[in-house]
Structure 1
């Protein structure tokens, strides 16, 4: 599994990419008939956003073993289409994933280590493309097979299956509640499930490209891949 994807699926290690927070400025839309309609509206109308998130990662259960323990993390997510986003994990460990339009920066505060990779070589058919970098369904359809999934938990769902089998991402489900992105659920090729629950999305955050600039902290080990 590529490091980018595996760490995105593991809260304690943090690599990957996803988004939402607001009060009076919360972005909501009228109820739609299905998840694909909600996804299309989200891609078209939410050009930027900021939100809190909670992520729960559950390893696969192996035959003859006790049910594995899930791990929970939380933080904030920001994005500015078409090429910038930031995941900032605050608990239980501080870590960041920052896409500045050219480079994907991965910062582990405990290790004081920064990994830098060319953004265009890393993102591809990842969850970040679904919620932060794609601009419309046409762009996504080249990377994923998209289909409506049955409504559940008060949400309209979209199932996204990567067309490329080069990575280890098996599938992604996106849940919308009253037109707002509420859940991102990822299943990797090893059976590990990662579920992100988003708070309300603030689409009036006034984010600018410079907000996503990243400078490695003094003394941090820098690895370029």
Structure 2
């Protein structure tokens, strides 16, 4: 299912193996963490970054490590390219979601639809609906380098149980992590981040290369 694939890749976005950090409290998130997310989203039009993604199973065993680049255009446009070790490209133009596997010369396209609301990236792209989509809490970060906002989806159909966003004191997004409903853990660390850097609009369209097999489930 594409929502599962999309949510694994985004993190917008794992809980580290054996993580046993309790929430600071069960009520409203600390004002600083919520404010940091609001500052990050305020005025945000595009967000670009290189990323490193680590996927672990429910025991913490590393299943895959990969590197790539992403460009996000609000509200629902995305370019997500895994460059190593297994190339894959995901593109959303706001209406359709394309997943392209160059090694297999195969592409799958599906309407984005309301399913986007159940993905981690909705936390960033639809900040005005944050309280509608999520319950919020705060967890401590060991080195105190960031504030960790924890979002628990209200949507019972969401493919993840909770989402972590690490924001620095100056409101830069450095990490997105989540655990899916099967216990698989995904952690994405962003670096070389750029805010409102003027991403080429062509990034958010996908033109299948000649010879590509296209599937429309």
Residue 207 of structure 1 and its aligned partner are, at CA, apart by 2.0
Structure 1 residue 34 corresponds to structure 2 residue 32: yes
Return 5+ residue gaps in structure 2 as ranges: 14-29
Could you tell me which residue of structure 1 aligns to residue 162 of structure 2?
Answer: 171
Q: CA separation of 1:37/1:200 partners in 2, compared to 1, >3 Å: closer, same or farther?
A: farther
TM-score with structure 1 setting the length: 0.80
Q: Is the 8 A contact 2:11 2:176 kept in 1?
A: no
Q: How does 1:61-210 map to 2 (within 5 A)?
A: 61=59, 68-131=61-124, 133-134=125-126, 136=127, 138-153=128-143, 154-178=145-169, 179-210=171-202
Q: Is the 8 A contact 1:183 1:198 kept in 2?
A: yes
SS for the counterpart of 1:111 is coil
2:56 to 58, 68, 79: 58
Cα RMSD, aligned residues only: 2.1
Q: CA separation of 1:143/1:8 partners in 2, compared to 1, >3 Å: closer, same or farther?
A: closer
Q: CA separation of 1:181/1:215 partners in 2, compared to 1, >3 Å: closer, same or farther?
A: same
Show CA shifts across 1:136-191 (max 9, x none).
Answer: 3x312211112232243321011111101113311100001232100101101121
Q: Is the 8 A contact 2:12 2:119 kept in 1?
A: no
Residue 34 of structure 1 and its aligned partner are, at CA, apart by 2.5
In structure 2, what is the Cα distance between the partners aligned to 1:72 and 1:207? 26
2:12 to 6, 18, 22: 18
SS for the counterpart of 2:4 is helix
In structure 1, what is the Cα distance between the partners aligned to 2:11 and 2:102? 18
2:208 to 205, 216, 219: 216
Q: CA separation of 1:69/1:16 partners in 2, compared to 1, >3 Å: closer, same or farther?
A: closer
Show CA shifts across 1:89-144 (max 9, x none).
Answer: 1011110111101111111112211111111243112112123x22x3x3122111
Return 5+ residue gaps in structure 1 as ranges: 10-14, 20-31, 62-66
Could you tell me which residue of structure 2 aligns to residue 5 of structure 1?
Answer: 4
In structure 2, what is the Cα distance between the partners aligned to 1:194 and 1:117? 23
Show CA shifts across 1:57-108 (max 9, x none).
Answer: 11012xxxxx623420010010111121111110111101111011111111
In structure 1, what is the Cα distance between the partners aligned to 2:146 and 2:202? 34
TM-score with structure 2 setting the length: 0.83
How many positions carry a matched residue from both structures? Answer: 199
Q: CA separation of 1:116/1:17 partners in 2, compared to 1, >3 Å: closer, same or farther?
A: farther
